Each structure stands twice: as structure tokens, then as C-alpha cells.
């Protein structure tokens, strides 16, 4: 779980999007799909798999880490870093104002 307030807001939204996707408008989902493309393909897959976004089944942290040849702790650090990277983008800041 992210430790800074900027990342916490996006983390909470991603959890909501994962568990109750019907609570998020299609336009916001579409915008989030585009924001995810700011990550490398590998990191995008890790984040979408970890949260279970956009119809993707959730993937256990251990599985994501094993597929990348890193420890679960290292993988969590990477995912947290990705969330932080996305949380500071102007694109997320604009979306955050509408939700």
C-alpha cells in the first residue's frame, strides 16, 4: 500500500475500480486505460494484474514477482512506484477532480 497521500488516492480508486467497476463511468475507465499506457508494458501488466483492472483477473503478487524474477517485496516496491508515477500525472489529477 502506498505511503504518501498522493499515491493513496489513486490506490483507493484502483481498488474501487477493481472491485466495483460498475461504480465508475465508462469515460473514466477509458481515460484510466490510457493513463496506464504511460507505464512500460511490463509495469502496466503488473499493475493491471495486481489490481485486477479492465476485466483482467487479479494476479497474486507472488505470481507477478516470479514472472519477473524478483522477490514479492521488490515487486510491491515496483507497483507502488508505478502508482506514484501515475498519481502525479496531470491526467490523473484531472480525473481525480471529476470523481
Quote the pLDDT of residue 9: 92
Quote the pLDDT of residue 90: 94
Quote the pLDDT of residue 3: 62
For the chain, residues with pLDDT lower than 70 are: 1-3
| Cell 484502483 sits on residue | 14
The structure's pTM equals 0.90
Quote the pLDDT of residue 14: 96
Amino acid at each position: 500500500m502506498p505511503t504518501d497521500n498522493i499515491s493513496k488516492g489513486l490506490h483507493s480508486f484502483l481498488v474501487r475500480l477493481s472491485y466495483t467497476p460498475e461504480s465508475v463511468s465508462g469515460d473514466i475507465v477509458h481515460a484510466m486505460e490510457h493513463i496506464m499506457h504511460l507505464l512500460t508494458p511490463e509495469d502496466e501488466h503488473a499493475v493491471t494484474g495486481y489490481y485486477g483492472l479492465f476485466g483482467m483477473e487479479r494476479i497474486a503478487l507472488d505470481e507477478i514477482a516470479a514472472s519477473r524474477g524478483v522477490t514479492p517485496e521488490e515487486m510491491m516496491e515496483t507497483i507502488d512506484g508505478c502508482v506514484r508515477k501515475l498519481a502525479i500525472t496531470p491526467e490523473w489529477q484531472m480525473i481525480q477532480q471529476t470523481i
